[in-house]
Amino acid sequence: MDYIRIGDKIVSLSKITSVINEIMEYRCKGYSQQETARILDIDRTFISRLESIGEVRKGGNIAVIGFPIKNKLELYERLKEEGIEYILLMTEEERNDFIKDKGGEELVNDIFKITSEVRKYQHCIIIGSRMRTKLLADLLDSHVYTINIGESPLKNDVYVEPDEVIKIIKTINA
């Protein structure tokens, strides 16, 4: 059914589809929302809302999670230089502090929040023990790359070679 009645209006579904397809064609060709709106004589905010409705993922391209990391600050700086937006690195002490003062419900909620945030990214690099990286990889809905830094349970911080992580990032971005 191409035509539907909404109150006093008769609406053509094919016309709506046609305009949406035109919008997407211009946007895919690199036109800005403002340029597309001007060409099609529609409101730019409509294009923004339309894209938001259809957006499958928010967030950036790559997230990095790792613990227990000995050279956390060095690795963090290198990741920032590469443009990584979501970085969650912890030393063993920070990981223990994260867990120590929380009740079960609060800890579970915090873990769900982190998981929910990371799932918005297309790719995730996980650095940790073999068991933890496997668990996290199973939870995430993204392309997961793991760097195993030992067998569970890891009790001490482990040095992670930044170039190894950057190599994965460059492969993803290639």
The pLDDT of residue 135: 86
With a pLDDT cut of 90, the percent of the chain lying above it is: 61
Mean pLDDT over residues 144-161, rounded? 94
With a pLDDT cut of 70, the percent of the chain lying above it is: 95
**62 touches 124 (CB < 8 A):** yes
DSSP state of 69: B
Mean pLDDT over residues 80-108, rounded? 93
Give 29-75 pLDDT, tens digit per residue.
Answer: 889 999 999 999 999 999 988 888 876 544 468 999 999 999 999 99
**63 touches 86 (CB < 8 A):** yes
The pLDDT of residue 60: 61
Mean pLDDT over residues 99-109, rounded? 89
Confidence of residue 125 (pLDDT cuts 50, 70, 90): very high
Supply the pTM of this predicted model.
Answer: 0.65
Cα–Cα distance, 120 to 28 (Å, whole number): 21
The pLDDT of residue 36: 94
Nearest CA-CA partner of 90 in 144, 154, 172: 154
